Amino acid sequence: MVKELISWFEDNKQLWKDRQVDAEVRKPESGPLDKANVRLKARSILASITAWEEGALELIVMDNNNGKELISEDRTFQNPEDMRKFLQDVSNRLSKLLD
């Protein structure tokens, strides 16, 4: 399911750029692709989304001004489609926080 997170990141790259969000994806340089992390940093928020191949996903969003946690969710997905739907919802929620 790591591929879904990486694909979501690539699909939204222009959105983050347009919204002046520093965005990066971190994944293993070698070996199995069993975990990936997306970090998003804007003036108002800092977000971290980590996915593991077995379907676990962790989402943390913090207020960049006061350090207060805005969103903290741990999810486990049984199939890639459910993870893709959730990540689309994450895009929508983050866009609202950036407004």
Q: Which domain holds residue 91?
A: 2-98
What does the pLDDT look like over 13-22, one tens digit per residue?
Answer: 999 999 999 9
Q: How many domains does the chain have?
A: 1
CATH number for the domain that contains residue 24: 3.30.1460
Chain centroid, CA 77 distance in Å: 15
* pLDDT for the residue 23: 96
H or E element that contains 72: strand 69-76
* pLDDT for the residue 2: 95
pLDDT-based confidence at residue 32 (cuts at 50, 70, 90): confident
Q: Is the pLDDT of residue 33 over 90?
A: no
What does the pLDDT look like over 56-99, one tens digit per residue?
Answer: 999 999 999 999 999 999 999 999 999 999 999 999 999 999 87
Round to whole Å and give the CA distance between 92 and 89. 5
